[in-house]
Amino acid sequence: MGNLLLQAILSGILLGMIYGLIGAGLNIIYGVMRVVNFAHGEFLMIAAYMVYWFSVLYKIDPLSSLLVIIPLFFLAGMIIYHLIVPRLLKSEDPEMASFLTFYGISMIITALVLIVWGADPRGLRFPYATPSLRVGTLYISTGRAIHFVFSSIIALALVLFLYRTYLGKAIRAIIQNRDAVKIVGIDPNKISSVAFGIGLMLVGMTGALIPLTFPGITPGMGASYTLVAFVVIVLGGLGNPMGSIIGGLIFGLTENISTLFLPLALSPVISFFMLILIIMIRPQGFLGGTSS
């Protein structure tokens, strides 16, 4: 039992970092603009399908595809911001308006993917994706380990960006007080467009690596990742990108450890029960209310 528990903890940490990175992109968008991007998971799905077709058509593996995904999703995020978000921010209730708008976008994306590629799951094979790695008495999926390493590097780069660069500090300042930053000469619109680009870039990078962890790519996968992202940012703290990493680790550990004691189908029940409990005890999340 002890070995099984260690295996569950290890798997939970590996998954939790992935979940945390998904939530971090959504949290940056929400924290800076108070925009609820309900199509977050669908953008992840698009990145996963792009990686699949890069592999099928051009023999490009997921790690190499990041060279295309990163600038493409950053640019797409900035374009989406300028086309949609300023109009949403002018509405009486930007959060509800953005929720409905991006929910519609998520439905459109899912329908288009179904029409173009069908509902059949698709998977990839990679030359470096051996079945598993052995660490003592524990086993780690090679793809999941690679995903974890890259997710950790991306998370570290995000921390350095937010706390060591002018642009990162400007994003944190807007999260704390969007109106006050104008006094020191920061243009919220320019910073917001960059923040939306970064948020979409983060989910794009995670989506590009998702095939390493989860073999099946389907048109319906986006909704589940959107739900995970919202749970993660609520656990970690709304408006605190680093809190998303904490929330992701908590969610991943809870999800995996609960499978040792409950049927697999019930593990999400425990995770969401924990979410409700934390909301009741600490509504702002673990790192909510602290300086971002």
Task: Please tell me whether the overall predicted TM-score, pTM, comes out greater than 0.75 for this model.
Answer: yes
| Higher-pLDDT residue of 261, 36 | 36
Mean pLDDT of 190-195: 94
pLDDT beyond 70 at 104: yes
Domain ranges of the chain: 27-219, 222-292
185 dihedral zone (left: phi>0; alpha: psi -120 to 50; beta): left
Q: What is the pLDDT of residues 224-251, one digit of tens each?
A: 899 889 989 988 888 788 889 999 998 8
Mean pLDDT of 190-208: 95
pLDDT bucket at 286, cuts 50 / 70 / 90: confident
CA distance 209 to 234: 24
Q: Residue 110's pLDDT is what?
A: 95
Q: Residue 266's pLDDT is what?
A: 72
CA distance 249 to 286: 12
pLDDT beyond 70 at 290: no
> Amino acid letter at 57?
L
* Alpha helices (runs of H) in 118-187, residue ranges in sequence order: 142-164, 166-176
Q: Residue 100's pLDDT is what?
A: 93
Mean pLDDT of 42-46: 96
Chain CA centroid to CA 115, Å:
25
pLDDT bucket at 204, cuts 50 / 70 / 90: very high
pLDDT bucket at 45, cuts 50 / 70 / 90: very high
182-185, long-range: CB within 8 Å, 24+ apart, which pairs?
none
CA distances from 193 to 83, 85, 99, 113, 187 (A): 10, 9, 18, 26, 10
| Higher-pLDDT residue of 134, 77 | 77
pLDDT bucket at 30, cuts 50 / 70 / 90: very high
Q: Residue 215's pLDDT is what?
A: 74
Q: Residue 164's pLDDT is what?
A: 93
Q: Residue 41's pLDDT is what?
A: 95
φ, ψ at 209 (rounded to 5°): -95, -10
Tell me if 111 sits within 8 A of 105, measured CB to CB: no
Could you identify the residue written with the tokens 């409905």? Answer: 100
pLDDT bucket at 128, cuts 50 / 70 / 90: low
Q: Tell me which H or E stretch contains 138.
A: strand 138-140
pLDDT beyond 70 at 127: no
Mean pLDDT of 61-83: 94
pLDDT bucket at 165, cuts 50 / 70 / 90: very high
